[in-house]
Amino acid sequence: MSFAPVINALAIPPNARVDQRVPKKLLLEQGAPTAADKRQIQDGIEEMVWVAALKPTNVAVPMFRDDVREYLEIAVLTTTLRAAGKPTRLIELIHRAIPYPLVLLAAHGDTVSLSLAHKRWSQGEKGKVVIEDVRRTAPFRPEAPTAEEASFLASLTFSGLPSRDLFTLYQGWIDRVAALEAAQITGTFTPPDSAARAAALRESLDTHLRLQRDIASLRIQATKERQLNRRVELNLQIKRLEAELYEAITNL
């Protein structure tokens, strides 16, 4: 699997490129809290490459610092996962192990996913950094993208992102991942044009996911329910949630 279509889409300034292999030892020391995680790293990761380090000195975007987090640079990494690897857990472990906000491209079989996760200082351990929610694309084939995926790739260009500071730059990529998630529901890729719209989009996506799960659970219950009155009640609940789901989709 070639990462080139996505890396080319990012259009990272040449002087920010690193292109060095990352030893798995780093993950084992920094990102493997359990023995099972260590086995996952050993057995599930074929290779990691540090593609680029975006810093104020090489991309002309200021650092960011507030009471919650400090962004001195953004790391761009690729990882090739073996067939036995569990992508969701491995991607989370890699984000946890790297101290900087990370743009991670993960190949599994013939597909690639792109993930990002904001980081903040730990409230319990001074000096430690923890990740927030991992925002990840569904696996796709970058050499043969759908129309929505092609629009997503075209939107990733470094020079087209907000550049007030490294936090807003990173948030710009997260917003585009959210926009792709919405596009795979609506069929239209539209990156949010403001912080308020980006927050509303993420909230609608979270609501959409929650409602889908709730509806699926109720349908299982309705299928198993033998009492007619209870089955009618469950079907009414499903219809109410389906109406809420439709409203969530219109807000995407």
pTM of this structure? 0.88
Overall residue count recorded for the chain in this entry: 252
Q: Dihedral sign, CA of 15, 19, 23, 29?
A: positive
**Does residue 25 carry a pLDDT above 90?**
no
pLDDT value at residue 31: 63
- Other CB atoms within 10 Å distance of the CB of residue 136: 20
Q: Give the pLDDT score at 80.
A: 95
Q: How confident is the model at residue 202 (pLDDT cuts 50, 70, 90)?
A: confident
- 3-class state of residue 193 by DSSP: coil
Instruction: Count other Cβ atoms within 10 Å, centred on residue 110.
Output: 10
Dist. CA 27–CA 98, nearest whole Å: 8
Residue 1, pLDDT score? 62
pLDDT at 246 over 70: yes
- The confidence band for 229, taking pLDDT boundaries of 50, 70 and 90, is confident
Triad 70, 74, 75: Cα angle to 5°: 130
Per-residue pLDDT tens digits for 109-125:
899 999 999 999 988 77
Closest CA to 61 of 171, 191, 192: 171
